[in-house]
Amino acid sequence: MRIFIEICFDGTAYCGWQKQPNATSVQQTLEERWSELFNIPVTLLGCGRTDTGVHASQFYVHHDVLNEDYIDRLTVAKLNAVLPPDIAVKQLFKVEDHFHARFDANKRSYIYRCTSIKNPFNRHFTFYYPLIREMNIEALQEAAQLLFSVNSYQSFTKTNSGVEHYQCLLYQAEWMQTEDGLEFHISANRFLRGMVRLIVGMCFNYALGKISKSQILEDMKLGTQIQKSWSVPAEGLTLEKVAYPIQLDVLGTDFRI
């Protein structure tokens, strides 16, 4: 029996979702805590990877349950009780054994938040960048719209990313004004490693007049790194939503207490 677990996390203290040999990851933390809780090895597969310091409001992992007795001990409260304050379980779902948290996800949505107002209470979740006062939101949006002129995004990925191809189906790329800054909303079927932060950096450089539209288009066409490439800081980025082609079946209320 396969269980989907919906979690959220503050990524500040972690090297991302995936386990790394010399750093603490969200995956490692969950597997270690739950293995100790249930006194059996727990292996989890996530809906994707996140970079160091990136957050998630919604993130799914799947776990294969071997017996019904174990199922009876799975509750949101019990799973949360052994987790650190920066990770939380939200819901549990029952899915078909073949359904995969990563490969069956068909849409992922991120928001990048930035502000020109220094606020220590938001420092882990918003990029403080005073120069956004000098940016025109129309220019930012013009840069974002250039993304729809291609379907391969090699120009916006870290080197040695190890992927088979660079194609992504982009659904949304939109800048929005907020009370104290800006938000960039982007959705696609998949994202390359470091892609969103490099896109935001490109938009900033264009709005500040550091790079031209023709340069951006040429680099995207050739698949070369964008000139004056800038990967903006991780703290402003949050994975907001992960979508699947089916309605997930929430386990009974006993499992959500």
Question: By CB neighbour count within 10 A (0-12 exposed, 13-18 middle, 19+ buried), where does 247 fall?
Answer: exposed
Residue type, 104: D
The catalytic residues are 51
Residue 27 backbone phi and psi in degrees, to 5: -60, -50
Please, what sign has the CA dihedral across residues 189, 62, 17, 159?
Answer: negative
Within 10 Å of residue 110's Cβ, how many Cβ atoms? 26
Residue with token string 């490692």: 28
d(CA 242, CA 48): 10
β-partners of residue 101 are none
